[in-house]
Amino acid sequence: KEYSDKYNYVLCPHSAVGVSAIHQTKNVSPNTVCLATAHEGKFPDAVNKAVDPLPEPPAELKKLWSMEMRRSFSPNDTKKVQDLVEAKIEERIRSEGGGGVGGAKGDSVRQIKRAVVAAAIVGALAVGVQAFLRTRRA
């Protein structure tokens, strides 16, 4: 709510935790960057507890609510998760006639894989910051 009021930008719950963690370290400067992890429209129930009324979600996001849910399960092992993500990317490329995600081929597929790894690293860093802050408070 505070971020929405101050900057007219609604954070998703996960991004709000990251922004809060940055502020709690008292290490914020004009050069501080905090990456948003998702669109707030994916979490209307949680966001509505802080922001009312909710902004209208984009049409593309509205479509998600009527789509079939797909799930994949993997052991808690970095290599196995990476293999699963790569297999899903390859599966998607094959199912779309070699066009891949957004027409991705060759180098683009490698870029997608790098983006997935980068997202995992950002997520791990966020978890690490949270753990660090918990130990400082204890």
| 118 plus 84 within the same structural domain | yes
Read off the pLDDT band of 49 (50, 70, 90): confident
Per-residue pLDDT, averaged over 20-48, amounts to 84
Here the tokens at position 28 are 């914020």
| 3 plus 64 within the same structural domain | yes
* Closest alpha carbon to 98 in 89, 111, 110, 86: 89
Here the tokens at position 138 are 């204890």
Domain count within the chain? 2
Question: pLDDT, tens digit, for every residue of 110-137?
Answer: 777 777 788 878 777 877 777 777 777 6
Question: pLDDT, tens digit, for every residue of 54-70?
Answer: 888 888 888 888 888 88
pLDDT of residue 99: 52
pLDDT of residue 28: 81
| 127 plus 63 within the same structural domain | no
Q: Range of 45's domain?
A: 1-69
| 46 plus 6 within the same structural domain | yes
Question: pLDDT, tens digit, for every residue of 63-108?
Answer: 888 888 888 888 888 888 888 888 888 888 788 765 544 555 566 6
| 56 plus 45 within the same structural domain | yes
pLDDT of residue 103: 52
Residues 6+ apart with CB under 8 A from 64: 42
Residue type, 87: A
CA dist., res. 78 & res. 109, Å (int)? 20
Q: What is the pTM of this model?
A: 0.48
The backbone torsions φ and ψ at residue 132, rounded to the nearest 5 degrees and listed phi first, read -60, -45
